[in-house]
Amino acid sequence: MSWIQKLYETYDNCQTMVGYSTDESKRPLLPICHMTAQAHIEIVIDKGGNFRKARLITDKNDAVTIIPCTEVSGSRSGKKPECHPLCDQLQCVAGDFNEYGGAVTCGFVEDPEEPYRNYLEVLTDWCKSKYAHPKAQAVLKYVKKKTLIKNLVEHQILFIGNDQKFLPKRERKRQKNVSDIFAVVNSQEDSFIRWEVEVPGELEIKVWKDKTLWESWIHYYFSTKKKEPLCYVKGEADFLSIQHPKYIRARGDGAKLISSNDKSGFTFRGRFLTAEQAFGVGFEVSQKAHNALIWLISRQGKVFFVKGGSGRKEPGLTVVAWATSGKTIPRATDDSLSILGFDDLPDDEPFIVSTAQDVATRFKNRMLGYASELGNTDNIMVMELDSASKGRLAITYYRENLTVSDFLQRIENWHKTCEWIHKYRYKDIQDKETGKSRRFFQPFIGAPAPINIAEAAYGSKVDDNLKKATVGRLLPCIIDGQKIPRDIVDSAVCQACNRVGMRDPKDKKEREWNKALSIACALYKNLNQTEGYSMALDENRKTRDYLYGRLLAAADCLERFALFISEKKRDTNAARLMQRFSDRPCSTWKTIELSLIPYKARLGGRAKRYQDVIDKVHSMFDPPEDYISDKKLSGEFLLGYHCQREALKPKKGEPESIEDDNLV
């Protein structure tokens, strides 16, 4: 349970960040006894509980509302959901809900007034306590009048038919370019209400942003609980949490890390009689730990979504690393370009990278910047979460108490040993002259992201479960320095060799194959670190596989240049035969070399540059038996191919070939 302790410490260290952040797209660090909900309607009342006005909330970011909740309502589900104390759906807050034909949750069908009575009971008890808040009391006065639906209908927020019942969506004649309640919900009965209370002398009228109201509810709720024997985390008496929070990885995520509500004999029966005998986690500890984890995942974690049974994307494997101080640290799942800040640049600002040495220097400076900001006293934790079902969430990988220097060194080492030249990252930018959006591809030198490695190894249409499993297997390689699994490298090499199979007729620049090629080179280089492979062409390397890769690149560039001159667009023989070449290099090379004769004749003297490379590489096979061997090539030939192809790119002032066009 040490992970709870670390998250609990992180929450206490980040108390100043509790509440809404400047980035509305991120989930806030919540106060305890509170949760977020998507509100649809905002009602303004005065201190006396009189209706003033209402508005529809159409902005999804603005709709995120911090609301008070109980332990049960915070993870409510089922046929009879528990009501929230202040902001809730219409069936709870509207006393005239049933008058307008509102359909309550199926568990309340026999007594449709029950949700409203439960809501009044909780809110009344709060407002009668010594921790009462004027804004909560104003809300209580208003909802007791039972005119909420009537007021919203009069202000054309909700709609009723001739029978004075809620109007179904299908019968509502919507005006063009005009938003109404059906733009945010499919059924009016599902609308969620939040409040603004105008109190003389107070500037903050929004109840969901009033910190004094947050404190009022927290103190009241704690006063309703009694302390149990022992909280295992704090080591002292505290009232224990029975139902722990959900919505951990993303909004709508029902999986829980801690759950003991199974009464059917599958969770704890057989070892213990009650859940409390198995473990005890205090309510405050659980709230703080879960709220910190939710905030950290949204702020600096990575959630990999998978296709669910309904076809919708659901949260899957989640990776988050954090410091107990709450300061930002590099994400283990990012590629080098993201760590260097490419994602944070404005759309119209270029990211200039000149050489590998320049990138290495900038990356090291970035790591030094993190180290300087974090200091030596912070501990780093890394956690991987995944779920096998919708209700259960598991910690599949966890490392704690990594020193800052150790963590940053491991991140830097991964990006150094797995670096290669990549040209698949892009962002959509707005052209200032035409106003149209265009895709800008940014070359970079560094390590690919684990998600890109999975796609390179198993194809861009890889199954979501295989993708997240691959990411999970790569995480120990990044954090613990373990050797990269050979089967992933072999799969990436196989994919890169299958150039024709990855050919998309609409993709004239073969971007998917070029991505697979550069990532395969990076992985093979990382797997064979003792070989000392370089991203630049090594003209002194005489290994058979490397030399055969150089031959293939020279033949490919020669033919591609000839096709470009004659304005013909088709695959070269080297491209078409790449898979066969990797399996039987000597016999396939003879076919490729003979096919070059007409292209050499067409180019004349301009073919000399490519022919010189072919002749020189031929002379480097030692012993000669390596050349005539038809033994299958290893992934090393891709390194030779890629390096030689880069070296044969046209110099400044020379005509560009189709080959170079592919690499932009």
CB < 8 Å & 24+ apart, contacts of 150-154:
150/96, 151/43, 151/51, 151/54, 152/41, 152/43, 152/54, 153/100
What confidence score (pLDDT) does residue 659 get? Answer: 42
Residue 493: the pLDDT is 97
Please give the pLDDT value at position 291: 95
CA distance 336 to 364: 11
pLDDT of residue 177: 58
Pure H helices in 131-245? 134-143, 148-154, 211-223
* pLDDT score at 562: 93
Q: How far apart are CA 421 and CA 522, in angstroms?
A: 8
Residue pLDDT, tens place only, 572-629: 999 999 999 999 999 999 999 999 999 999 999 999 999 999 999 999 998 889 999 9
As to burial, measured by CB atoms within 10 angstroms (0-12 exposed, 13-18 middle, 19+ buried), residue 424 is: buried
**Cβ neighbour number for residue 172 with a 10 Å cutoff:** 13
Q: Is 267 a residue whose pLDDT tops 60? A: no
> d(Cα 273, Cα 455) in Å, to the nearest integer?
47
Around Cβ 390, how many Cβ atoms within 10 Å? 12
Alpha carbon of 167 to those of 94, 98, 99: distances in Å?
A: 17, 14, 13
Per-residue HEC secondary structure of 564-611 comes to HHCCCCCCCHHHHCHHHHHHCHHHHHHHHHHHCHHHHHHHHHHHHHHH
Is residue 81 reached through a cis peptide bond, with omega within 30 degrees of 0 on the bond before it? Answer: no
Q: Which of 138-147, 508-517, 537-546, 639-648 has the lowest mean pLDDT?
A: 508-517
Amino acid in the structure at residue 184? V
The pair of structure tokens assigned to 287 is 């709230």
More confident residue, 258 or 382: 382
Sheet holding 302-307, edge to edge: 302-307, 313-323, 379-386, 394-403
The DSSP 8-state label assigned to residue 48 in this structure reads: T
Confidence tier at 268 by pLDDT (50, 70, 90)? low
Q: Does pLDDT of 167 surpass 50? A: yes
Q: Is residue 277 pLDDT above 70, yes or no?
A: no
Looking at per-residue pLDDT, the higher value among 645 and 180 belongs to 645
Judge contact between 227 and 128, C-beta under 8 A. no
In this structure, what are the phi and psi dihedrals at residue 42, rounded to the nearest 5 degrees? -115, 120
Name residues whose C-beta falls within 8 Å of residue 163's C-beta, 6 or more positions apart in sequence. 101
For the chain, give every domain's residue range: 1-21+225-300, 31-221, 536-664
Three-state DSSP state, 639: helix
Q: How confident is the model at residue 386 (pLDDT cuts 50, 70, 90)?
A: very high
- Taking phi over 0 as left and psi of -120 to 50 as alpha, with beta for the rest, 567 belongs to left
Quote the tokens at residue 176.
């063009």
Contact 318, 386 (CB under 8 A): yes
Whether the CB-CB separation of 487 and 332 falls below 8 Å is answered with no
- As a whole number of angstroms, the distance between CA 449 and CA 453 comes to 6
Q: Is the model more confident about 632 or about 465? A: 632
CA angle 475, 479, 482 (to 5 degrees): 80
CA angle 628, 630, 632 (to 5 degrees): 140
Which helix H or strand E contains 486, and what residues bound it? helix 486-497
Q: What is the pLDDT of residues 402-429, one digit of tens each?
A: 998 899 999 999 999 999 999 998 888 7
For position 230, what pLDDT does the model report? 80
Angle between helices 450-458 and 511-527 (to 10 degrees): 110
Q: Report the pLDDT value the prediction gives residue 525, as an integer from 0 to 100.
A: 96
**Helix/strand/coil for 253:** coil
Q: What percentage of the chain reaches a pLDDT higher than 70? A: 90
Task: Give yes or no for residue 480 having a pLDDT over 90.
Answer: yes
Comparison of pLDDT for 14 and 239, the residue scoring more: 14
Whether pLDDT at 265 is above 80? no
Q: What is the DSSP string of 118-142?
A: HHHHHHHHHHHSTT--HHHHHHHHH
For residue 76, pLDDT over 90 is answered with no
List the structure tokens of 273. Answer: 């009689």
The pLDDT > 90 percentage for the chain reads: 62
Q: Kindly tell me if the per-residue pLDDT of 382 is higher than 60.
A: yes
* Higher pLDDT among residues 202 and 471, named by residue: 471
| Beta-bridge mates of residue 383 | 320, 398
Burial of 62 (0-12, 13-18, 19+ CB in 10 A): exposed
With 0-12 CB in 10 A as exposed, 13-18 as middle and 19+ as buried, what is 523? buried
Candidates 610, 536, 529; CA nearest to 572 is 610
Confidence of residue 458 (pLDDT cuts 50, 70, 90): very high
Beta bridge partners of 315: 305
Distances (CA, A) of 382 to 214, 333, 371, 478, 579: 31, 11, 17, 11, 40
pLDDT at 174 over 70: no
Residues paired with 53 in a beta bridge = 44
